[in-house]
Amino acid sequence: MRRILIVGASIGGPTLAYWLRRYGFEVTVVERAPGLRPGGQAIDVRGPAIEVVRRMGVLEEVRRRSTDLRGMSVVGRNGEELSTTTDRTASGGDVAGPDVEILRDDLAEILAGAGEAEYLFGDAIASLDQDADEVRVVFESGTRRTFDLVVGADGVHSSTRRLVFGPEEDYLRHLGSYLAVWTVPNFLGLDRWEVVYPMSGDHWGAMVMSVRGNREARAYVGFDAEAPPAAFQPSDVGEQKRLVAKWFADAGWELPRLLKYMEDAPDFHFDAMAQIHLDAWSRGRVALVGDAGYCGSPASGQGTSMALVGAYVLAGELAQADGDHVAAFAAYERELRGYVAGNQALALVNQAQRRNQEEAGETALPENPREVVDAYTLKDY
């Protein structure tokens, strides 16, 4: 049980590769993109995930490359400042707290550079076939290889999950919202600061935050739409941009300029706010980690932490079981189910609070999911 293929090179994939290599496994990571993917939103490393990156020896680098925000302002349609805070950021982070906010692509670069593994960029799994002894993989490049185990760390729209567990619609729960993010120049002259423009109705509004020492900025827009992704969300990036531009065509503040920058943004990302729920995170010799198995959605603010912790636990259980995948996969789920459930419930609470919905009280949610999440302690292996 030494040869393991990991699908996806964002957060969970490189973290899992690091720990598996440390425990003596042979690791290959395949990534559809030609290299580490650029762009994405600012993400948070929180709670036990801080300890994971510390044990990897990269916490200092993660802190050095954090967004280092000092606070945020809320503005009106004409740019008038409505409020200012230096205590928290728009994502709910405590400016003076131990959590770290960092760009997704910066964290992915740090994690991939932390250990040694074989990386296959510009390729993907076309098909796989497993039996009691091995997993036979055919890549889109035509290459055929055999592995002892395969782990899907390829995000909410995981192709690994689709190949092994079935169609996405069986596991995806749409939360009724969409989010877009892209890089823009720091044309507002922000100094480690973010500006939020709230809107009414189906529009959340927009946000701009300075990043990378104020050399650039990231723009966000969000809106509510109950239509599920399969019926509403185009797969073509150009069509996605046109959809966002149409949705915010009459918005105020700096939206016209932001939408203009969006037209040529090479790192534009648009997706539904959704969760993934499965009864089991493994099937035979194939397992899932992070968003592929238990996406909490950006509404939780915990997706990155779940991927980091999940990768650490999965690798640890495989090492502790001496590669016995049946025992390891079962232990992996026992260890993480409560933590994941708390994080996913937290997303629903955050969504309800953001919308100030009366119907939130009609939704059955675990009591105090934040307490469940905060109580989780990282296991030693």
Mean pLDDT of successive 10-residue segments in the chain (381 residues)? Answer: 93 98 97 94 93 97 94 93 82 73 96 95 98 97 98 97 96 94 97 92 89 95 89 91 94 95 95 95 98 94 95 97 95 96 88 57 58 88 94
Residue 90: its pLDDT value, please? Answer: 67
137 inside domain: yes
194 inside domain: no
Residue 327: its pLDDT value, please? Answer: 97
Helix residue ranges per DSSP H, 303-366: 303-320, 325-355
68 inside domain: no
- Give the burial class of 371: count Cβ atoms within 10 A of its Cβ; 0-12 exposed, 13-18 middle, 19 or more buried: exposed
Residue 358: its pLDDT value, please? Answer: 38
260 inside domain: no
Residue 32: its pLDDT value, please? Answer: 97
Q: How far apart are CA 321 and CA 270, in angstroms?
A: 40
CATH code of 301's domain: 3.50.50.60
348 inside domain: yes
Residue 351: its pLDDT value, please? Answer: 77
Q: Coil, strand or helix: which one is 216?
A: strand
How many domains does the chain contain in total? 1
Residue 360: its pLDDT value, please? Answer: 40
Q: Coil, strand or helix: which one is 42?
A: strand
Q: How far apart are CA 168 and CA 173, in angstroms?
A: 10
Range of the domain at 365: 3-39+106-171+277-374
104 residue type, one letter: R
Q: Which residues pair with 144 in a beta bridge?
A: 138
Q: What share of the chain is helix, strand, coil (3-state, %, to 5)?
A: 35, 25, 35
Residue 31: its pLDDT value, please? Answer: 98
Q: Which residues pair with 223 in a beta bridge?
A: 178, 203
Q: Which residues contact 379 (CB under 8 A, 6 or more apart)?
A: 313, 316, 335
189 inside domain: no
Residue 363: its pLDDT value, please? Answer: 47
Question: Please, are residues 228 and 174 in contact by the beta-carbon 8 Å criterion?
Answer: yes
Residue 92: its pLDDT value, please? Answer: 60
Q: Of all helices (H) and strands (E), which one includes residue 6?
A: strand 3-7
- Can you give the pTM of this predicted structure? 0.93
Residue 228: its pLDDT value, please? Answer: 83
Q: Are strands 282-283 and 203-211 parallel, antiparallel or unpaired?
A: unpaired
Residue 299: its pLDDT value, please? Answer: 86
141 inside domain: yes
Q: Which residue has the tokens 């203009």?
A: 260
124 inside domain: yes
Q: How far apart are CA 37 and CA 21, in angstroms?
A: 22
